[in-house]
Structure 1
Amino acid sequence: MRAKGRHKATEYRGAAGFDHHRLERAAARKSGYITATSLILVLLLSSGAFFLPDRYIPGLIACEICLVIHGVYRRGSLGVIARVFFVQLTITMSLYYLIHGQSQLAQGAVAVLRILLAFIPGWWLSITCAPERIGEVLTWVLPVKWAFVIAASISLLPYMTVELREIYHIQCLRGARINPKALRDPRNWSELINCVIFPVLIQLLKLSRQIAVAAQLRYFGKSNQPTHWR
């Protein structure tokens, strides 16, 4: 009787384990389809920000407001969007004013708006979709190594935002003329590049190298059936 009971218990555990793996695969497949749909949506919206005529821009704005609301609900930071907007506004409007004068400032404002509309879908994607799922979906149409690079790059966006903010604050404390008031003078733009942009690029290259070394130590690319990066 005891042997029979143990046999039934083993069969029950085996069936439960099989059901668990089946449910896990179904959930992963569903998540992959959702991620693929999100990628297509982001591609369409970001492309539309540059190629749609001006009369369709209000509809695009309405769609992306929904993305922003959903991103904030998923604990995304509106500060990232605000910083991108103000940086683009300062640089683009200054260039338009220097090159075209006041006559083309309206077109400069439209250009800033289009850049922001192209940025928001990527911001939303980095918040709502896990990098490993993005990499998994990209392997449907791209080689595994390319998918890994793209997924790793997307996962770096939140980190680089924090890194950029920290470098900016440190340079301001050191007395660099890179605050918004100082950047109204184009002569200070070179200081922004030297004090902020170059250090961020160096940090990005360093981090990319670390990711590449970590992938090599895990024998990434050696297997014919690689697992997805997590």
Structure 2
Amino acid sequence: MLLVTLLSSAAFLAPQSSLLYLAFINLLLLVHGLIKRGDIRGIIRYIVLQLGFTLLLYALIHGGKQMNQGAWAVARMLLALLPGWWLTVVIKPQLIGVVLAKVMPAQWAFVVAASINLLPFMTNELRDIYQLQLLRGARIAPRQLLNPLNWYELAYCVIFPLFVQLLKLAQQTATAARSRHFGSQPQVTYWREPRSPHDTDR
């Protein structure tokens, strides 16, 4: 987790001349994550969309003179996201909660671990909302989003429903935690998976 924090921070703080070395480290993490059957499609879609928005904004503001700076900014975002993606692929959320509870209150560790665990679900939810709004005729297709006038429709038809879904999911998670008396005992327990098939018989 410290490695992921350092790599994600370095993506924004490192000079541009050092990004090649950082990209090589992230490439190794990417390959390892794919070997572990991690799904990278959500990050790819987000980066492609972010690249389109960023380059369009740079073109509108600077007249196309600093497009390379916009591309570098998106590249830094990608390098910041990949370590976190790799962590969610190779480490189970409950183990992340166990580690975080050693350095922060158990309630905060639970929130962080639950949020990480819900990222794949929210990615699928975002895709479903986007596709449903496209079927309803919303002007949010990639070609239509080149027009800044359609960005409001993207926020209204996709971002706002996703935000409502996040609030609903957070409320359900809090209700489930309270029903299990989370936080009522000073010593927090965690569900641990058996280390081997023989442990399930014990």
- TM-score class, shorter-chain normalisation, is over 0.9
| 1:81 positional shift | 2.1
The AA in structure 2 aligned to 1:119 is L
The AA in structure 2 aligned to 1:227 is T
Distance 1:93 1:229 in 2: 46
The AA in structure 2 aligned to 1:135 is G
1:50 aligns with 2:12: yes
| 1:78 positional shift | 2.3
Long gaps (5+) in structure 2: 193-202
1:193 aligns with 2:155: yes
Superposition pairs of residues 79-94 of structure 1, within 5 angstroms: 79-94=41-56
Distance 1:46 1:173 in 2: 37
Alignment deviations for residues 70-106 of structure 1 (CA, whole Å, 9 cap, x no partner): 1111111121121121111011111111111111111
Size of the alignment, in residue pairs? 192
1:102 alignment counterpart = 64
Distance 1:135 1:156 in 2: 14
Superposition pairs of residues 27-176 of structure 1, within 5 angstroms: 39-176=1-138
Name the structure where helix makes up a greater proportion of residues.
1
The AA in structure 2 aligned to 1:114 is R
Contact 1:148 1:229 in 2 (8 A): no
**Alpha carbons of 1:86 and 1:53: their partners in 2 closer, same or farther (altered >3 Å)?**
same
Q: Percent of counterpart pairs with the same letter?
A: 53
| 1:130 positional shift | 0.8
**Alpha carbons of 1:104 and 1:211: their partners in 2 closer, same or farther (altered >3 Å)?**
same
Runs of 4+ in 1 over 6 A off after TM superposition: none
**Alpha carbons of 1:63 and 1:214: their partners in 2 closer, same or farther (altered >3 Å)?**
same
RMSD between superposed Cα atoms in Å: 1.0
Contact 1:182 1:188 in 2 (8 A): yes
- What is the TM-score when the length of structure 2 is the normalising length? 0.92
The structure with more radius of gyration: 1
Distance 2:7 2:191 in 1: 27
The AA in structure 2 aligned to 1:104 is Q
- What is the TM-score when the length of structure 1 is the normalising length? 0.81
Long gaps (5+) in structure 1: 1-38
The AA in structure 2 aligned to 1:180 is P
| 1:123 positional shift | 1.0
The AA in structure 1 aligned to 2:97 is G
Distance 1:71 1:179 in 2: 30
Distance 1:202 1:109 in 2: 31
Distance 2:44 2:94 in 1: 28
